[in-house]
């Protein structure tokens, strides 16, 4: 195994997903990469006050400030890229903003889209806490909001919506250190993009942002050719997770739950209706995020949720 270091510099940065972006690093399956990324907006320096403008990596800010792409040698469509998060170390500050949208959903919450609210956070990695300007303290649980591969179609694609093909802006707070995310490979070389560090977030990312921050992420990259399910899925230290992404919440839910039923069938030798019956007792459905034009839903099965009967083979 070789360890690589990929800093966040102008030459390693992009704000679109494209199969035509030249890779900034080439690794072998099994290699480890220490990746630096700026926060989603690409701030080059700390905000002086909540919401204050600073210098940005991309002044036009068309999408998330990402690091990559990373080419994985030998990866081809039909493979699955395993991204194991070995460590996630947030920067020493972060920000949150809410109330910028002016649409029917925002108005249903009693919001008018004017004068958004900003929080500016001090992040203390040693204490494991974040503290905002009002003195609110929350626990750090860092992860990357965006981990993804470009669509197979040529051209530049937005970083905003998560996609069933390639992942991207998944925003799943369960993908903390010790977790592995499995992404079906969409293009030769995989071309992995990483960024959108979150120091903490609730399920749903309900305000539109998390505690957005820069991140230093250590990942181990490998290829898998016989995954238990065909779509995007993950294994965390406590659970198995399957995902659904769609503009329609029902379809996103069906996609996530359907993949979990397939996994239950494989694990326990069940026909599909029996898998659904078992899922009713042990599977949690969670809204991953509502912030990115496409609903995200994930189904969660605890690693110890189903035991074997005493005396069973």
Contact 176, 140 (CB under 8 A): no
Q: What is the pLDDT of residue 104?
A: 79
- Which structure tokens are listed for 113? 């889209």
Burial 98-119 (b: 16+ CB within 10 A, else e): bbbbeeeebeeeebeeeeeebb
* pTM for the model: 0.95
Q: List the chain domain ranges.
A: 3-14+23-47+55-224, 233-302
Q: What is the pLDDT of residue 309?
A: 53
Q: Identify the CATH number of the domain defined by range 233-302.
A: 3.10.28.20
Q: What is the pLDDT of residue 191?
A: 98
pLDDT in single tens digits along all 313 residues of the chain: 899 999 999 999 999 999 999 999 999 999 999 999 999 999 999 999 999 989 999 988 899 999 999 999 999 999 999 999 999 999 999 999 998 777 778 788 888 767 899 999 999 999 999 999 999 999 999 999 999 999 999 999 999 999 999 999 999 999 999 999 999 999 999 999 999 999 999 999 999 999 999 999 999 999 998 899 999 999 999 999 999 999 999 999 999 999 999 999 999 999 999 999 999 999 999 999 998 889 999 999 999 988 865 444 3
Q: What is the pLDDT of residue 230?
A: 93
> Can the peptide bond before residue 24 be classed as cis, meaning omega within 30 degrees of 0?
no
Return the residue matching tokens 């960024």: 195
Neighbouring residues of 187: CB distance < 8 A, sequence distance ≥ 6: 19, 77, 149, 150, 152
- Which structure tokens are listed for 172? 């799943």
Neighbouring residues of 296: CB distance < 8 A, sequence distance ≥ 6: 162, 170, 171, 172, 243, 244, 245, 252, 287, 288, 289, 290
Q: Do 233-302 and 3-14+23-47+55-224 fall under one CATH topology?
A: no
Q: Identify the CATH number of the domain defined by range 3-14+23-47+55-224.
A: 2.60.120.580
């Amino acid at each position: 195994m070789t360890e690589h270091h990929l800093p966040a510099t102008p030459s390693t940065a992009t704000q679109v997903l494209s199969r035509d972006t030249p890779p900034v690093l080439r690794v072998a399956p099994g290699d480890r990469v220490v990746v630096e990324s700026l926060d989603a907006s690409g701030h080059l320096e700390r905000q002086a006050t909540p919401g204050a403008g600073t210098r940005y990596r991309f002044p036009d800010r068309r999408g998330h400030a990402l690091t990559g792409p990373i080419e994985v040698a030998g990866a081809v469509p039909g493979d699955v890229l395993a991204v194991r998060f070995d460590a996630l170390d947030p920067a020493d500050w972060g920000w949150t903003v809410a109330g910028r949208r002016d649409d029917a959903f925002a108005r249903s919450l009693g919001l008018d889209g004017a004068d958004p609210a900003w929080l500016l956070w001090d992040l203390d990695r040693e204490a494991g806490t974040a503290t905002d300007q009002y003195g609110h303290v929350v626990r750090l649980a860092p992860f990357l909001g965006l981990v993804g591969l470009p669509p197979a179609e040529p051209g530049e694609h937005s970083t905003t919506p998560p996609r069933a093909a390639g992942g991207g802006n998944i925003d799943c707070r369960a993908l903390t250190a010790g977790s592995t995310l499995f992404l079906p490979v969409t293009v030769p070389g995989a071309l992995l993009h990483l960024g959108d560090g979150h120091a903490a977030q609730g399920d749903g990312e309900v305000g539109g942002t998390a505690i957005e921050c820069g991140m230093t992420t250590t990942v181990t990259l490998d290829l898998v050719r016989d995954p238990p399910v065909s779509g995007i899925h993950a294994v965390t230290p406590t659970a198995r997770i399957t995902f659904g992404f769609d503009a329609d919440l029902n379809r996103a839910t069906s996609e996530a739950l359907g993949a979990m039923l397939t996994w239950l069938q494989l694990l326990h030798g069940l026909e599909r209706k029996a898998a659904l019956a078992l899922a009713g007792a042990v599977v949690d459905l969670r809204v991953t995020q509502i912030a990115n034009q496409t609903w995200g839903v994930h189904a969660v099965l605890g690693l110890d949720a189903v035991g074997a009967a005493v005396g069973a083979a």
